[in-house]
Amino acid sequence: MPAPNPAALDFLLSRRSRPAKTLDLPVPTHAQLEPILTAAARTPDHGKLEPWRFIVIEGAAMARLADLAETRARALELGEDDVAKARSQFDQGHLAVVVVEVQKPSEKIPPLEQTYSAGAVCLALLNAALATGWGANWLTGWVCHDATFRAQALGLGDHERIAGIVHIGTERVAPPERPRPDIAAITEWVSS
């Protein structure tokens, strides 16, 4: 039987994201963020392609992205709720890590598996931040999917996408527990 790690399992069974709007200062320093990024980069990566990279957004860059999100939302003629939501992600944030999916040419590893790896990096980043005591939240939304915003805000190329924006900071308010999936209802056992 393998050696269990009860503390790790207890963490995974009780972990929960913290709403980005409840995260405040202080945020991790560069030195505190490095092991979180290192843990995230240990995600499954078939073929060792590293089909992802990180962009850390902090300080005045958050305000710049809030302005760009509003400008782009208005150019797209989105509703006021969408404008406010896109802007608030950056207005209310103090530090965020953008996980950029970078598809790599490979005869063996299909693009979809590279996308899965980038998503796994987002979850690993979120869990590493939570495990080190910070509050964290993984967000997406239209800003992640809009090529013009990605290019203007972060300089991303056509071959790059945003898998997620993970906000990290000090938790001000603990969210209430939410209902979790009924494992019996979503699990099928196949024995033969």
At residue 48, the pLDDT reads 95
Q: Mean per-residue pLDDT for 19-36?
A: 96
SS3 content of the chain, % helix, strand, coil (to 5): 45, 20, 35
The annotation places the binding site at: 15-17, 42, 46, 138-140
pLDDT at residue 84 is higher than 90 = yes
19-172 homologous superfamily: NADH Oxidase (3.40.109.10)
At residue 1, the pLDDT reads 83
At residue 100, the pLDDT reads 98
pLDDT digits (tens, 9 = 90+) for 7-25: 999 999 999 998 899 999 9
Enter the pTM of the model: 0.94
Please tell me the distance from the alpha carbon of residue 34 to that of residue 135, in angstroms, as a whole number: 16
The annotation places the binding site for FMN at: 15-17, 42, 46, 138-140
pLDDT digits (tens, 9 = 90+) for 137-181: 999 999 999 999 999 999 999 999 999 999 999 998 888 888 999
At residue 37, the pLDDT reads 98
Q: Please report, rounded to a whole number, the percentage of residues in the chain having pLDDT higher than 90.
A: 91
Half-sphere exposure in the Cβ direction for 32 (13 Å, CA): 13
